[in-house]
Amino acid sequence: MIDIKFIRNNPELVKEAVRNKNEKADIDKLLAIDESRRKLQFDFDNLKSQQNTVSQTIARKKKAGENADAELSEMASVAEEIKKINAELSVANSELEAMLLTVPNIPQPEVPVGRDESCNTLVRIWGEQPTFGFEPKDHLEIANQNGFLDLARGAKISGSGFPIYTGQGARLERALISFMLEYHLQKHGYEELMVPLAVNRKTMTGTGQLPKLEEDMYHINEDDLFLIPTAEVPVTNFYADEVLSHKDLPKCLVAYTPCFRREAGSYGKDTKGLQRLHQFNKVEMVRFVEPEKSPEALEEMLCNAEAILQAFGLHYRVINLCTGDTSFASQRTYDLEVWAPGSGKYLEVSSVSNFGEFQARRANIRYKDSTGKVRHLHTLNGSGLATPRLMIALLETYQQEDGSFKAPEVLKPWLEMRV
RNA sequence: GGAGAGUUGCCGGAGCGGUUGAACGGGACGGUCUCGAAAACCGUUGUAUCUUUACGGGUACCCAGGGUUCGAAUCCCUGACUCUCCGCCA
């Protein structure tokens, strides 16, 4: 959420951000509501002030045994008026609140302006595309040949986009999750959380999924709960409505969760195999930092995510997203795209974003700085990483000529957990 | 699912419908004392919002939302959450 005072003082800047992000929040209307709301608030405060004063007089008179009928009848009409204005005020307040929730975050200056992904820029490339002495197969062929996946039965049980990992495939998936979690815990200093997969409306609003993305999420009607599309939601909201101390910052959390996405409106796009799913696994990093430190933290998290791909020896590139491609809540986002040699393309496996105070305002997460002042902190998050496309890259990169799969050395211990 | 109890400031914990933004205690911070510290003593210790160049002032907030009243932390209704007991269950 953008500070209403900021919108008041920089309306053009906010409108530009709305345009550049292909959003459609009506800033002029928002400001008009804000204006009338403040007028109502002013009237309300004055009437209340009058009421408080006279009420005290009444109290004093009654205590002294004097007659207070004059004041009482005077206050009856004031009370009436207050009730009326209060009703208008709460309507105006909720209107403003609703509108504020539709205003996207403002991209940082470093973010290239552009409508869509064609305007994204390349930051760097790591490694090289591997070469094969044979025609590399795509991940589905490898998976099928080795019995790693059973998509047909997943579709039977739930529908397409709900994969079943079988045998060594299931084990590999679990190994990836464990490896990544432990990597971030041991080498990058994160703390682990295991969180609820179904969360309430307030939580979804806190990180910015609601109101915009309601259609993209699975919803449990009975209890008005949503299945999380990313661990970002429960983990960021971990500190909702709290005031932390600057001594607690930065706070670095990591969590593994399944993620659920309806992917409404994207049917038919990149649907082959594990490329686009309704349920997938992801390890997510989240940081809570002091405002001044967030740009630096973003770079660190990017490196944390890259470290995983490097450990696996996978070729990838880092992309700087343009305004039109950064999400509603983000100020700045890097994508990590891993090379899938069998499919012959780069696949997004991570998105690392700085949200500034946008989410902290929505979720009401604050901290007390070293001077004792209470401020909103900055939140960031990054996938570290999502497994399906990572699995694709691994299978395709480490396939053998006979179609078998040879896992990279670092994964060996994780695939051979002895009991 | 049934029965009961509860939700007050950083924490513990008071609070008759009328100077209660909130007693009292603890903690934290500042000061006095001390070579230094402890103890003791004194003082400070909320958030949001409007207004003001500033000093300051107004208003709201005692889980949330409604209601009663001139006036609600205090009375009534609804909801959320916590705890105890019973039932059910991995």
Report, as an integer, the average pLDDT of A359-381: 89
Q: Which nucleotide is nearest to A223 (CA to C1')?
A: B80
Q: What pLDDT is recorded for position A216?
A: 93
State how far the Cα of A410 lies from the Cα of A412, in Å rounded to an integer. 6
Please say if the pLDDT value at position A265 is more than 80.
no
Q: Which nucleotide is nearest to A63 (CA to C1')?
A: B18
Digit-coded pLDDT (tens) for A160-189: 999 999 999 999 999 999 999 999 999 999
Å: A372 CA to B34 C1': 29
Give the pairing of strands A191-193 and A251-260: parallel
% of chain A residues with pLDDT over 70? 99
Give the bases of strand B that a protein CB approaches within 7 Å: 18-19, 46-51, 58-60, 66-71
- The residue out of A41, A70, A100 marking a domain boundary is A100
Q: What pLDDT is recorded for position A299?
A: 98
* Domain CATH number, residue A162: 3.30.930.10
**A189 shares a domain with A159:** yes
- The residue out of A48, A71, A100 marking a domain boundary is A100
Q: Known catalytic residues of A? A: 261, 276, 348, 351, 389
**A331 shares a domain with A258:** yes
Å: A219 CA to B64 C1': 24
**A121 shares a domain with A93:** no
**A168 shares a domain with A315:** yes
Å: A86 CA to B73 C1': 21
**A395 shares a domain with A247:** yes
The answer to whether residue A108 sits within a structural domain is no
Report, as an integer, the average pLDDT of A11-19: 95
For B51, nearest residue by CA–C1' is: A42
Q: Which nucleotide is nearest to A82 (CA to C1')?
A: B70
**A384 shares a domain with A256:** yes
Q: What pLDDT is recorded for position A266?
A: 67
Lowest mean pLDDT across A170-184, A195-209, A380-394: A195-209
| Token reading at A157 | 């049980």
Please say if the pLDDT value at position A313 is more than 90.
yes
Report, as an integer, the average pLDDT of A271-281: 92
Å: A289 CA to B35 C1': 42
Q: What pLDDT is recorded for position A308?
A: 98
Digit-coded pLDDT (tens) for A60-101: 888 888 888 888 888 888 999 999 999 999 899 989 999 999
The answer to whether residue A33 sits within a structural domain is yes
The answer to whether residue A107 sits within a structural domain is no
Query: Where is A125: in which H helix or E strand?
Result: strand A121-126
For B10, nearest residue by CA–C1' is: A243
For B71, nearest residue by CA–C1' is: A55
**A333 shares a domain with A193:** yes
Q: How far is CA A4 from the centre of its chain?
A: 21
Q: Based on the structure, what is the number of domains in chain A?
A: 2
- The residue out of A100, A125, A156 marking a domain boundary is A100
DSSP states along A94-119 = HHHHHHHTTSPPPPPTTSPP-SSGGG
The answer to whether residue A217 sits within a structural domain is yes
Digit-coded pLDDT (tens) for A222-255: 888 999 999 999 999 999 888 888 888 899 999 9
Residues with CB under 7 A from strand B: A 4-5, 38, 41-42, 44-46, 48-49, 51-56, 58-59, 62, 72, 75-76, 78-79, 82-83, 90, 366, 373-374
Report, as an integer, the average pLDDT of A116-130: 96
Å: A201 CA to B71 C1': 36
The answer to whether residue A368 sits within a structural domain is yes
The answer to whether residue A390 sits within a structural domain is yes
Beta-strand (E) ranges in A141-250?
191-193, 198-199, 219-220, 225-227, 242-245
ipTM of the complex in this document: 0.88
Beta-carbon neighbour count of residue A166 at 10 Å?
A: 17
Å: A210 CA to B74 C1': 38
For B49, nearest residue by CA–C1' is: A41
State how far the Cα of A233 lies from the Cα of A315, in Å rounded to an integer. 29
% of chain A residues with pLDDT over 90? 80
Report, as an integer, the average pLDDT of A389-396: 98
* Domain CATH number, residue A47: 1.10.287.40
**A159 shares a domain with A91:** no
Q: What pLDDT is recorded for position A247?
A: 82
**A241 shares a domain with A388:** yes
Beta-carbon neighbour count of residue A109 at 10 Å?
A: 6
**A275 shares a domain with A229:** yes
Å: A272 CA to B59 C1': 60
**A217 shares a domain with A138:** yes
Task: Provide CB contacts within 8 A for A93, sequence distance 6+.
Answer: A37
Please say if the pLDDT value at position A398 is more than 80.
yes
Which structural domain range is residue A87 located in?
4-100
Q: Which nucleotide is nearest to A74 (CA to C1')?
A: B70
Q: Which nucleotide is nearest to A59 (CA to C1')?
A: B18
The answer to whether residue A106 sits within a structural domain is no
For B29, nearest residue by CA–C1' is: A372
The answer to whether residue A338 sits within a structural domain is yes
Enumerate helices (H) and strands (E) in chain A, giving the number of each.
13, 14
Q: What pLDDT is recorded for position A268?
A: 64
Q: Which nucleotide is nearest to A79 (CA to C1')?
A: B70
**A156 shares a domain with A41:** no
Maximum C-alpha span of chain A: 104
Report, as an integer, the average pLDDT of A91-113: 93
